[in-house]
Amino acid sequence: MPASSSKDPAHVWQKTSIIDKHGVTGMILAMRFEEDKKLFAIKRDGGVQYLKPTSEAFNSLPRYDLVNLANRELLGHSNHAVAMGLWQVLQREVRSGKFEMFKPQVPKRVRDKNVRHPVTNKSLKKLVYKPVLCESKIPLSKLSKDILGNIWYWYVDPK
């Protein structure tokens, strides 16, 4: 049997989850373009990631995240030409299967010395992704000028 066969017990891959440098993990739930911040907000199970509308930021995402984003509806794009153009190119490349503008991140395969295969007792390999290039400092939204009139209804949650 060839060594690259999927039935070979020595070549079993362990699936790992993505944890970026800001601790955001999980599956993508929604994507929105924040027009006042000029950033894409990607809502995940574990939080929100903000990406610049550049191909460099989207190239730091793995292939399955790009496919998941293309299958989601883009929220809040209104009349922003760059957001719509980037979105349409992403959808076209995912449909065709040829990534020309977007180059998805390829994981590095490393051996996990702590996890052993039950039959061969060899260490399993795992996929390691680089951190996603998301923004660490996000500008705050502007508050309305009559905010002090409603301060009576504000309170601090002690929890």
H-assigned helices in the chain: 55-59, 63-71, 81-96
Residue 37: DSSP 8-state: T
Task: Give one word for 87, left, alpha or beta, with left for phi > 0 and alpha for psi -120 to 50.
Answer: alpha
CA torsion 131-34-67-102 (nearest 10°) is -70
Determine the Cα–Cα distance for residues 120 and 134; give it in Å rounded to an integer. Answer: 40
- How high is the pLDDT of residue 30? 87
Determine the Cα–Cα distance for residues 104 and 82; give it in Å rounded to an integer. Answer: 20
- How high is the pLDDT of residue 85? 87
Residue pLDDT, tens place only, 89-144: 999 999 998 988 889 888 888 888 888 888 888 888 888 888 888 888 877 766 66
Residue pLDDT, tens place only, 72-82: 888 876 677 88
- How high is the pLDDT of residue 148? 62
Residue whose token pair is 């030409």: 81
Sheet arrangement for strand 74-75: 47-51, 39-44, 28-34, 74-75
Residue pLDDT, tens place only, 32-52: 888 888 888 888 887 888 888
Query: What are the start-end ranges of the E strands in 1-150?
Result: 13-14, 28-34, 39-44, 47-51, 74-75, 108-116, 123-128
User: Domain limits of the chain?
Assistant: 18-136
At residue 128, what is the residue type?
V
